[in-house]
A and B are shown apart, each in its own frame.
Chain A
Amino acid sequence: MKKLLDNDLKEMYGAFGRDHDRLKQTLMASLPDGAARRGQRRGLAHTRRFLQGTIMRNRITKLAASGVMVIAVIVCVNQFGGSIDGASVLYARVRESIENKPWIHATHTIRGEKALCGEEWFSFERKIAIGIEDTGKIQYSDFYSQKRYDYLPMPGTITISQIKEPPSFFEAKTPIELCKRVIELKQADGAEFSQNLIEQDGKTLEIWEVTRSEDTGSEKIKLFIDTEEYLPIVAEVSHADHTGKTTYQGTIEFEYPEIGPKDIYELGVPKDAKVVYFKDPGPEVINVAAEYDKRRRQLGDFRALTIYTSANNKSQFTILEYLPSKNKRRHTTSRVIADYDSKSLDELAEALISDSWLVLLDAKSRVFPTEYLPNNIVLLVPKMVDAFSDYYVGEWKILTSDDHELSNKVECQLKRHTRTGVYLQTWCFDPENDYWVSKYTLDVLESYEVQEDNAVVKQQYEVTAFDKTISGHLYPSQIVQQRASTNQVVQRRYYIYLEEAIHAQDVDRAFIERALKTLLQPK
Chain B
Amino acid sequence: MTAPSDKMLVRAVFAGDKAAYGKLYDRYAPLVRAVCYDEAGNLADAQDLAQDVFMRAYENLDNLRDPDRFGRWLIGIARLRCKEWRRRSSYRRVANVEVDDVEPITADPQDNGRLEQLRRTIATLPERERLALHTFYLQGRSAEDARRTMGLSRSGFYRALERARQQLAALLVQEREDSL
Contacts and interface: CB of A to CB of B under 8 A. Distances in A.
Nearest to B32: A16
Task: Name B's interface SS.
Answer: helix
A245 interface: no
A24 B22 contact: yes
B15 A31 contact: no
For A1, A15, A20, A127, the residue with the greatest tally of chain B CB atoms inside 10 Å of its CB is A15
Contacts of A2: 165, 169
Contacts of B172: 5
A203 interface: no
Contacts of A9: 118, 133, 137
A16 B119 CA distance: 11
A126 to B, nearest CB: 5
B51 A34 contact: no
A26 B51 contact: yes
Contacts, number: 101
Interface string B23-57: 00110011101100100000100110011001100
Contacts of A32: 59
A127 B65 contact: yes
A36 interface: yes
B77 interface: no
Interface in A13-60: 13, 15-20, 23-24, 26-28, 30-37, 39-40, 42-43
Contacts of B33: 16
Nearest to A142: B65
Contact of A39 (B54, B61, B115, B168): B61
Contacts of B65: 126-127, 144
A508 interface: no
Nearest to B19: A28
B121 to A, nearest CB: 10
A96 interface: no
A268 B63 CA distance: 27
A18 B16 CA distance: 28
Interface in B109-168: 110-111, 114-115, 118-119, 122, 133-134, 137-138, 165, 168
Contact of B58 (A1, A23, A31, A43): A31
Nearest to B35: A16
A27 B51 contact: yes
A126 B66 contact: yes
Contacts of B165: 2, 5
Contacts of A37: 13-16
A29 to B, nearest CB: 10
Interface string B87-120: 0000000000000000000001011001100110
A27 B55 contact: yes
Task: Name A's interface SS.
Answer: helix
A28 B118 contact: no
A446 interface: no
A262 B66 contact: yes
Contacts of B22: 24, 28
B55 A43 contact: no
A12 interface: yes
Contacts of A36: 13-14, 21, 58-59, 61-62
Contacts of A16: 30-31, 33-34, 37, 43, 46, 138
B156 to A, nearest CB: 17
A13 B30 contact: yes
Contacts of A144: 63, 65
A34 B16 contact: yes
A40 B46 CA distance: 29
B60 interface: yes
A125 to B, nearest CB: 8
A16 B140 CA distance: 12
B86 interface: no
A33 B18 contact: yes
Contact of A13 (B34, B63, B168): B34
Contacts of A5: 165, 168-169, 172
A30 B110 contact: no
A8 interface: yes
A9 B136 CA distance: 10
A523 interface: no
Contact of A12 (B14, B50, B119): B119
Given A11-B115, A15-B115, A24-B26, A39 B60 contact: yes
Nearest to A44: B62
Given A8-B115, A23-B50, A27-B25, 5 more contacts: A12-B115, A27-B55, A28-B22, A31-B18, A37-B13
22 contacts: A5-B168, A8-B118, A9-B118, A13-B134, A15-B108, A16-B43, A16-B46, A16-B138, A18-B43, A20-B30, A23-B29, A24-B29, A27-B25, A27-B54, A28-B18, A28-B21, A28-B25, A30-B55, A35-B58, A36-B61, A39-B60, A40-B62
Interface of A: 1-2, 5, 8-13, 15-20, 23-24, 26-28, 30-37, 39-40, 42-43, 126-127, 144, 262
